[in-house]
A = this chain, B = another copy of it.
Amino acid sequence: MPVTIYDVAREAGVSMATVSRVVNGNPNVKPATRKKVLETIERLGYRPNAVARGLASKKTTTVGVVIPDISNPFFAEVVRGIEDIARMYHYNIILSNSDKNVDKELSLINTLLEKQVDGLLFMGGEVTEEHLNIFKTSTVPIVLAATKDSQNMFPSVDIDHYQAAKDAVEAFIQYGHQRIALITGPLTDPLTGLARFEGYKDALREANIPFREDYVRVGNYRYESGMEAMKFFLELSDRPTAVFATSDEMAVGAIHAIQDKGLTVPDDIEVRGFDNIPISSMVRPLLSTVSQPQYDIGAVAMRFLTKHMNEEPITEQNVILEHELINRSSTK
């Protein structure tokens, strides 16, 4: 039914090798022949079969990208960076959503590898032993974006989560705050959970501010959990004067909890989020946050992957990009 390279060859009166050459932009074709072939391709509506091509050439010019949560604006922006660079290097991308589910992640990675992608970009909460094991079975390069494995076995692009959290807390301390609360993500997550938590603790310790259990609540990065955490803090007899949430959504939830109580941000309580996703500019007061270079994380990771795929020399294996404190109206 569909027209093949063979049909084109026959119609154009050349061999399929020649058709293949013009389709692939091989210069060793006489302009007249090229023209003739192009015309019959057009006339017949020939569309090259990428599957056959992939089998014959052993390259698919596509990379697999696994993303943990498609509805998270943070990753959406990372994907933008990935796509732009991919297009630049003529790679297609297969985007796969894992819903933060480890089983799905492993299964997606497998599927992607079966599909013979030329490389893989992995984003996810945590890189476990299981991940590593499946990564090791890959014959194509793999790059981790917005995460890394604990042993730095695989190339990665990320920020310094520990330092980022520490900077945020230190900013509060420098402003004179002593009662600083933390709304963190699950501490089981070594990077966005634990590392940021450590940053918080160390900042306090270095300033000789005693750590208080009741100034720390664990959320799940979502709005509701930020709200719940803040409600808890508000019940405390000596409630915090500053709150650092490790996601913008939780920070916004915290702000609303504060406002619902009749208090004001930042006058009564200051709040800072993390990530700098679009919503931080779509609330009142405008949210102060710790910004991650989302687009760059994606772009650098993709560029990194192309280097591996083309076996270009690479200098550093684990890239750390800069974070930045963004001060808007939820802090003074």
Tell me, in angstroms, the Cα distance from A166 to B31 when the chains sit together.
59
Closest to A256 in B: B284
A85 to chain B, nearest CB (A): 14
Tell me, in angstroms, the Cα distance from A278 to B282 when the chains sit together.
13
Tell me whether B283 and A51 are in contact (CB under 8 A): no
Closest to A282 in B: B223
Tell me whether B284 and A282 are in contact (CB under 8 A): no
A137 to chain B, nearest CB (A): 6
Tell me whether B79 and A49 are in contact (CB under 8 A): no
Tell me whether A51 and B60 are in contact (CB under 8 A): yes
Q: Indicate if A129 sits at the interface (CB-CB under 8 A).
A: no
Question: Known contacts being A252-B282, A282-B279, is A139 close to B1, with CB within 8 Å?
Answer: yes
Of A93, A249, A282, the most chain B CB neighbours within 10 A belong to: A282
Contact of A114 among B48, B253, B283 (CB under 8 A): B48
Identify which of residues 100-115 in chain A touch chain B, using a CB-to-CB cut-off of 8 Å. Answer: 110-111, 113-115
Per-position binary interface string of chain A over residues 82-121, scored 1 when its CB falls under 8 Å from any chain B CB and 0 otherwise: 0100000000111111000000000000110111100000
Tell me whether A47 and B252 are in contact (CB under 8 A): no
Tell me whether B113 and A47 are in contact (CB under 8 A): yes
Contact of A96 among B50, B60, B93, B137 (CB under 8 A): B93
Tell me, in angstroms, the Cα distance from A19 to B92 when the chains sit together.
32
A binding-site residues for B, Cβ under 8 Å = 1-2, 45, 47-52, 54-55, 60, 62, 70-71, 73, 76-77, 79-80, 83, 92-97, 110-111, 113-116, 137, 139, 223, 249, 252-253, 256, 259-260, 278-279, 281-284
| 7 further contact pairs, Cβ within 8 A, besides A71-B278, A249-B282 | A49-B116, A51-B51, A52-B55, A62-B115, A79-B97, A83-B97, A283-B283
